[in-house]
Every structure is written in C-alpha cells, then in structure tokens.
Structure 1
Amino acid sequence: MTIWVPQLPATGVRYRALADAIGDAIASGELDEGMRLPPQRRLADALSVTVGTVTRAYAEAERRGLVEARVGSGTYVRGRQSTATFRQTGMQADAGCVDLSLSLPPPHPDRPRGLGEALEAIHHDPQALMQAVDYQSEQGMFRHRDMLARWMTRLGLPVDAEELMITLGGQHGITLALQALAQPGERVAASALTYPGMIAAAQQLHLKPLRVPLDEGGMNIDALARLCAQQAPRLVYITPDINNPTGAFLSEARRHALVALAREHDFWIVEDGVQYLPAEERGTPLYQLAPERTLYLFSTSKVMAGGLRVGTLRVPPILAERLGTLQRAQSWMVPPLMAEIVCRWIDSGAAERLLDWQLGEIAARQALAQRYLASYGARGRPHGFHLWLPLPPGIRAAALIQQLEQRQVRVTSAEPFCVGSEPAPQAVRLCVSAAVNRDALTHALDTLVSLLQAPPASPWRTL
C-alpha cells in the first residue's frame, strides 16, 4: 500500500524538517483531517532515517498541534479546525464573523464595569493594596476562600473554606488534580467525548486516557464497570451536569453507581462544574455523594470574566498537602490581586446580578437556537452555553465547517473532544453564548440551516 512520503531537504535537522513537512502537507490538503500518518518504522525506511528521528518528528508535530497520537492506534492529522483547541480567545472575531466555536459568556458592559468598580474600591483600601503585593499561602488567602465558599454555597454548591484551594481558573485546576492523583503511564477515564482541556492535560502529563461510551444519559457506568474489571483507572474525569460537547446529563442512578464503583475499585473522581447551571438543572454533586474521593472544579470564568483566571478546587483533606506542594512548584499562589477583585465583585452584589442576567440571556438564545435546529436533533441544556448538532446523513462535518467559515460563521467539529482512537462522529458544537448579540446568533443560525438544507456537493467525480 502506498504511504505518504515527503521530500526532505538535504541539510538541516531531520526531525524538524519532517515536522515542517507534515505541517506543509496539512496546509496544502495533501494530508487531510483524520488521516493516519504512516507507521514510524515504515516511514523511517522510506526516508532512510532512524525510527528515533520519525518518533521525534511526530512528537514535534503533536507539540505544534498538527497531529494527535492515539494509544494503540497511531498518529492522526488533527486538521486546521481541531488544532485550535485553545485559540487566543481574548482577540475579537474578524469583522463580520460570528464565532460560535468558543465557550464564552455572552458579552455585557457589566463585565468591564464590574472590574473597574472593584479596582476602584481596592485603590482606596490600603490594607488590600498591601496584601496584593505580598506573598500569600499556596491555597490562597483564607478571607478570599471564605468569600468564595459562601458565594458557592449561595449558588447551591455548599463547600467549606478549609476545603478550597484557589486556582488559576478551571484548566489549572484540572492539571493540578491530574498531577496530584496520577503518575505518568497510569490510566485516566473520561467520556468518549469530553472537554479538550482534560485531554491536553493528560497528554502533557503522559497519562493514558480511557474512552468510556456516552449516551444521552451521560457516561455509561456499566461500560466503565467492564473497564474496571480489566484494570481500574486511577481517576475518572466527568462533567455530570452538562457534558462538553454533547450536553448529556448524568442521571441520579448513574451518579450513585459511579460512586459505588469508585469505592469498590478505589479510584478518584474529578468532577468539573465550571459550566454553571441553575439548581433545577443540576443533579446531586458527586463531591457530596463521595466527599472522601472527589475533587470538584469551579471557576468564575464562565460567570464573571475569564481574564481574571480565578477558580477553586474543592479538595479532600487527605490531598491538601500534596496539592499545596504542586501549587508552590507551579506558581506558588494565585495573584492575590485577582482574587481580591473577584471577591469585591461578589461582595458588591454585582456578580449575582450579572449571573441573573446571563441565565436569562442564555435561556433566550437556547430557545432561539432550538427553533431553528430542533428538527435536526440539536441537543442542549436550557441554560447551557452550547448545542450539540448531529449532522444529517450525507453531510460531513469538515465540509460543513469549511462552508460556514467561508460565510463568516465558526463552529467546532467533534474531533478535539474525542478520547482514544475511535473516529469522531459527524457532528458539530456551536456555542450560542459566544455571539455578540441575538441578531448575530440569528444570522449564524440562518446560515447554518441554509447549508443543512442544501449541503455542498461532493468534490468527487465518477470515473
């Protein structure tokens, strides 16, 4: 069988030249999204280089976000869409572009206004200014943790300040949790489609992600039990209230089954609650069902402002010292100024007013999107940021995304969310929260439906 073999320059570092060739081939379309790169030994023989050279080249290409190594399956092209797992979200979308690819809170003038008011209050508080320029505990100042714990409790997520560690947002919390609980080479389980930040953190820490099947009832706990019968994972990462990207909700029965399984096989649970939902859309938090083995992630990014990078990690007491050590090794502490801003914002009442507005706005946007897409099987939660859209037969996600991009609309394929080596489903995720307003969202939905009704013609010709 013919394999892809690039032409490499006669001089220069060979592994870098091969990584460059992979990038060039992806950009030109010679290597398409989802294609498997040649086995390392076969390509090494074809290029007359060592297997080690190809291994380093593949690793460098993965570091650049061009490819993805899947345990037991090979190395696959990620493509232009899926390489942008973490784009520079601070940049505004191109003029006229409606970017629904990023899970961002809806724009509102109260976000910069709230920041300004908090900074003004701090400016007139000499003690707060002094504390902001001084080193603090790796867990964060107790005053800040207490304020955050009381706020979470008011939101229906009761925690004790002594259990909390302040983190640099949810992604930092995920990385801390994985580092604390698992060693390189150990197995960590997650739903077959899950948050790309967890996948990226597991890869960087050289952990082995295990794919657990997923349906509309959330993670399939029976399938997880079968995995545990072979070899239990070190931990299970899960977003029980709203799976990212599918929106699946883990039922109460499955929550209790997961906790029972964790106790039987002695694995940890990392529960991600960063995407805030009101109480009527949440189930019983896993950290309440199994406090001794559950770490809970929360963040202000989806409620107040992502740029502040303030989140919390609820930690079982037995892990507090270990996580403190990791925090000191990574950043020593979250900047106390950022935590002070968040706490002032909360204390003023402005954070809850902003959240109330946001919940109403998201509900209106979800209802709008469902009016357009319900007949296509779109799934989402009434107050969730995103919708999951399985595509009709004959429509390929890559082609649809390209056509949308040409019309100044961006959505995300399933590829970045895939755990393991199974092919990505033909579906897209669109974040209704990210549009600048409802008019922009309406324009994007009009564009999407027009393409679903008249999908692009296949480029292939019959011979």
Structure 2
Amino acid sequence: MTNWLPDPALLTRPAYLSLAEHIARAIEAGTLAAGARLPPHRRLADELGLSVQTVSRAYEDLIRRDLIAGEIGRGTFVRQKGGEARQPYLPERSGELIDLSILKPVCDTLHLDRIRAAFAWLGESLPASSALSFRPNMVMPRHRMIGAEWLAEMGIEVPAHNLTITNGASSAITAALMGVAPVGSTIAAEALTHHTLMPLCGYLGLHLEGVAMDGSGMLPAALDEAARRTALRAVFLQPNVINPLAAQMPADRRAELVAVARRHDLAIIENDILNRMVVDAPPPLAALAPERVLYIHGFTKITVPALRVAYLAAPDRFATAVANRHLVSSWMATPPIVEILSHWLTDGTAAELIAWQRLRLAERHALAQRVLAGRVSGTHPQALHLWLRLPEGRAEEEFVAEARLRGVAVAAGSAFRATDRGRRDSVRIALGSTDLEELRQGLSIVGSMLEEGAEAPLPGI
C-alpha cells in the first residue's frame, strides 16, 4: 500500500473534487505509480479529517476518469497508463461540476417532444421487415433511396446502393477505415483531429500520420510531402466546423487537397457530421472528387442525440468493401431508429431541428464573446465548441485540473493531437452540453482563469 498522502491543508471545497485532483496529479507525475494500492476509504478519511462519504466520492470520480480501479476483496489500485484511450470528456456528469467537456447539440423540451412523437408514430407505423428481418437488403433499400435524395440536395450524387447506413458517425468512420486501408497501412490526418481516430487506428492495426495544418486546415504541401515520404492509403479530413479548431476550410484549400489526393491516388474520408447546419459552407469534398471521397453525414449532433444514424456514401471502387466491413462489424443500423430518420427527413422534422440548432448555437457564441471578452477569435457561429489557446506557460493538463477544482470540466487539447509537432497548449469548450445559465457560469470561470495567466491567448492550433 502506498505511503503517499495529500496535504490536508491544501484541500479546498468541494473536498471530494479537490482530493480527486490531488490524487490525479500524483498519478500524472508518477508519484503514485501504476499498480499502487490506495488507502482504504476509512483510513484515508481519518488521516485527512474527511468523511468516508467524501473519500468515496473522490474515488468514484477517479474511477469514472479511468485513473484507478477497484477490485473486490483487494482494494483500489492505480490503473496502468496506455492501456485504453483516455477520452476528453467525462463519462458521466458528477456532482456540482458544470460539464463543458462533452460535445453535444443544444437540447430543449422541443427535442424530447419530437422524439416521443416519433416513437408514438413508430408504434403505429413500424413495418414488419424493420421489426422481424435479419437481412439488411430486406430493410434498408427504401431508406438508402431517401438518404441519396437528401444528399443530392447538397450536391452529392451517390447511387443508393453505394450508401451504407450506420449507427452513427463512429461506426461509419470504422467501416470507412476498414474499407480503404488494410492492416499495416498508413492514414494521414490533420495534426488536430477526431479524438477517436488515434485509438481506432491502433485497434485496426493502422499507422496514423499527423500532418501540419494552419487555421484553415491541413496544408496541401505537407500532405504532398507525407505522401512522397510514406506509402499513404488515405487521408481523414473534417473540413467543416466539427474539427477541433471549430474552423471552416475554404474552397480553395479543399480544391488543393483534392489535387494532392488525385496526384497520389489517395482515398479521402470526409467526416461532415454538421453538414446542413453550416449555412455558408463551400461544396463538400465529396462533390469535388466523387471518385475517391467516402463521405460521412451524421444526425446526432444536428437533431437529437437519440438519433444515432449516419450515412456513409462511398464511390464505386470502395462501396462493396465498405458495405462488407460494416456487415461484419455491425451487421446493420438499428432499423426502428432508421425508420424515424427517414420519417423526419420526409416530413420536415429534421430540417426544423437543424434550423433551431443553428439559432441556439449563434446565441451561445454571442454569449461566449461577451463573457470571454475578445479571447475567442475565428470560431464559426455553427460550431458546437470553442478552441482556446492558453497563455504562454499554462499547461493544458494543469488548466483542466484547476478548472475541475473550480467546478467546470473542459477537454484538454492532447486528446485531439495526432502529433505533438508544433504543439500549443489549448482546451476545447463545448457550448451545447448544458443550459445557458450554467454555460455563462462555466465560461466566467474559464475567463477568470485566463485573466490570471500571462498575455491573452491567441487563436491557433
């Protein structure tokens, strides 16, 4: 059992969060090594002058953060680092924390009303095939047709049979990677990218090459150099404002990256889960290079989280491989949820919720501009988050830990880095994860922490 104990004089309120942060910092610093056994709840409570309940809540918080693990009959131990990927968000909201760490759309009673009405409609209208069939081709053809028509309105022409319907964008990303890159091959992505891409490539046996970027996205010259140096198979891009910088890639940059991909015959995986909500977006990469772009179009971030469905549109050369990889990994998307999506696309509910989301996010960006007093620059009014570069000398992990002690959870930039080259410590702040008053309070806490830093942070990667 470890002899390490935090200094009781340094604990602040709420005590359980303060204790959890002191233990977390000791783990990060190596003072508490992997495998170290922590004191039993009662002993630590007695040593620190705390209640057993406070120590239990601290341990529960650390278990949720995947830093420690309890073993029945043996005790509580520090987890081995590097076993599983640490996510940027809290697995669940805990205690008094204002959670600005998880990316989600703004939700209100409207969303609950619409999804309840949809399930009522489903109870009356569910086709027998969606309830009883094991065969995707008995269930999905009509839904693929509806999806192809929806995408065509965005300028993306794809045959319905080349459209795979998945349980959300994560499933679509997995099927796309498996469809274009055999085990051992290399995928390129921007230096700041989707937080699941790094562990996913590891699980699939793929190498991930982080490519230099600026405020507009991946640098074409850097992709060209990486393709000449490494046998790249594909490039993963998020040109619309879902990327960590919350930036929109301009049309000329998109065209330049397509030209590089054609020169080296690279597949492009385009993750565009905000799609129609971004009103002034240039044409998708899939419209510029339909012969090589696998286009992912999601709905959970623009309608309601329960609608876990995404479209994966693939060109002829990849469509069969993608469909087969999805078949063996997921079989098919959940038919009743797909029924609701198709119903919403045809009756106007999806368009209604997208327009509502657009307005609410504009309000929250305006609030962020007021509260953070000019410290936010270059973010798009339809982005679900802010990306803040920290003042010089402020380490992001320490900033995140201090923010938790002050009652607000934000995400460290490290979760989104495919490479540490050109690193600038930053944090991501989600705007849709709580109500307006809590958002104002959370942003105020972050603003006061930034004021305590050196120079005001500048936008950057």
TM range (shorter): 0.7 to 0.9
Shift of 1:320: 2.0
Distance in 1 between the 2:231 and 2:238 partners? Answer: 19
Choose 385-394 or 226-235, whichever is displaced more: 226-235
Q: How does 1:154-193 map to 2 (within 5 A)?
A: 154=153, 159-193=158-192
Is the contact between residue 114 and residue 345 of structure 1 (CA under 8 Å) also seen in structure 2? no
The answer for the alignment partner of 1:84 in structure 2 is 87
Q: Call closer, same or farther: CA 1:374–1:151 in 2, change over 3 Å.
A: farther
The answer for the alignment partner of 1:53 in structure 2 is none
Q: Call closer, same or farther: CA 1:401–1:356 in 2, change over 3 Å.
A: same
Q: Call closer, same or farther: CA 1:99–1:346 in 2, change over 3 Å.
A: same
Q: Call closer, same or farther: CA 1:273–1:391 in 2, change over 3 Å.
A: same
Is the contact between residue 123 and residue 129 of structure 1 (CA under 8 Å) also seen in structure 2? no
Q: Call closer, same or farther: CA 1:147–1:374 in 2, change over 3 Å.
A: farther
The answer for the alignment partner of 1:388 in structure 2 is 387
The answer for the alignment partner of 2:442 in structure 1 is 444
Instruction: State the identity as a percent.
Output: 29
2:188 counterpart SS class: strand
Q: Deviations over 1:11-45 (max 9, x none)?
A: xxxxxxxxxxxxx9x9564452799x99xxxxxxx
Distance in 2 between the 1:139 and 1:116 partners? Answer: 26
1:375 counterpart SS class: coil
Distance in 1 between the 2:137 and 2:238 partners? Answer: 26
Q: Call closer, same or farther: CA 1:33–1:212 in 2, change over 3 Å.
A: farther
Shift of 1:328: 2.0
Q: How does 1:281-430 map to 2 (within 5 A)?
A: 281-373=280-372, 375-422=374-421, 424-430=423-429
- Superposed structure 1 runs of 4+ greater than 6 Å apart: none
Shift of 1:180: 1.0
Shift of 1:424: 4.5
Q: Deviations over 1:125-146 (max 9, x none)?
A: 36x1443221232696121122
Match of 1:32 among 21, 28, 37: 28
Structure 1 residues without counterparts, runs of 5 or longer: 1-5, 8-23, 39-63, 67-75, 457-463
Is the contact between residue 176 and residue 323 of structure 1 (CA under 8 Å) also seen in structure 2? yes
Is the contact between residue 163 and residue 312 of structure 2 (CA under 8 Å) also seen in structure 1? yes
Q: Call closer, same or farther: CA 1:359–1:31 in 2, change over 3 Å.
A: same
Is the contact between residue 164 and residue 315 of structure 1 (CA under 8 Å) also seen in structure 2? yes
Distance in 1 between the 2:29 and 2:254 partners? Answer: 36
The answer for the alignment partner of 1:59 in structure 2 is none
Q: Deviations over 1:161-209 (max 9, x none)?
A: 3331101100000000111111222110000010112222111111111
Q: Deviations over 1:52-111 (max 9, x none)?
A: xxxxxxxxxxxx977xxxxxxxxx96799x8234654xx5x3354221111101121222
Shift of 1:306: 2.6
Matched positions, count: 395
Q: Call closer, same or farther: CA 1:29–1:408 in 2, change over 3 Å.
A: closer
The answer for the alignment partner of 2:116 in structure 1 is 116
Is the contact between residue 33 and residue 79 of structure 1 (CA under 8 Å) also seen in structure 2? no
Q: Which amino acid aligns with 2:86?
A: T
Is the contact between residue 140 and residue 334 of structure 1 (CA under 8 Å) also seen in structure 2? no
Is the contact between residue 369 and residue 376 of structure 2 (CA under 8 Å) also seen in structure 1? no
Q: Which amino acid aligns with 2:106?
A: P
Q: Which amino acid aligns with 2:400?
A: I
The answer for the alignment partner of 2:73 in structure 1 is none
The answer for the alignment partner of 1:432 in structure 2 is 431
Choose 199-208 or 132-141, whichever is displaced more: 132-141
Distance in 1 between the 2:369 and 2:286 partners? Answer: 32
The answer for the alignment partner of 2:60 in structure 1 is none
Distance in 1 between the 2:129 and 2:254 partners? Answer: 45
Choose 141-150 or 355-364, whichever is displaced more: 141-150
2:311 counterpart SS class: strand
Q: How does 1:1-80 map to 2 (within 5 A)?
A: 29-32=25-28
The answer for the alignment partner of 2:150 in structure 1 is 151
The answer for the alignment partner of 1:196 in structure 2 is 195
Q: Call closer, same or farther: CA 1:369–1:157 in 2, change over 3 Å.
A: farther
Distance in 1 between the 2:156 and 2:264 partners? Answer: 27
2:372 counterpart SS class: helix
Is the contact between residue 300 and residue 308 of structure 2 (CA under 8 Å) also seen in structure 1? yes
Distance in 2 between the 1:447 and 1:30 partners? Answer: 24
CA RMSD between the two structures: 3.2
Shift of 1:381: 0.8
Distance in 2 between the 1:292 and 1:374 partners? Answer: 45
Q: How does 1:239-254 map to 2 (within 5 A)?
A: 239-242=238-241, 244-254=243-253
Structure 2 residues without counterparts, runs of 5 or longer: 4-19, 35-64, 68-79, 455-461
Q: Call closer, same or farther: CA 1:116–1:155 in 2, change over 3 Å.
A: farther
1:166 counterpart SS class: strand
Q: Deviations over 1:192-233 (max 9, x none)?
A: 010112222111111111011111121111111111221241
Is the contact between residue 99 and residue 435 of structure 1 (CA under 8 Å) also seen in structure 2? yes
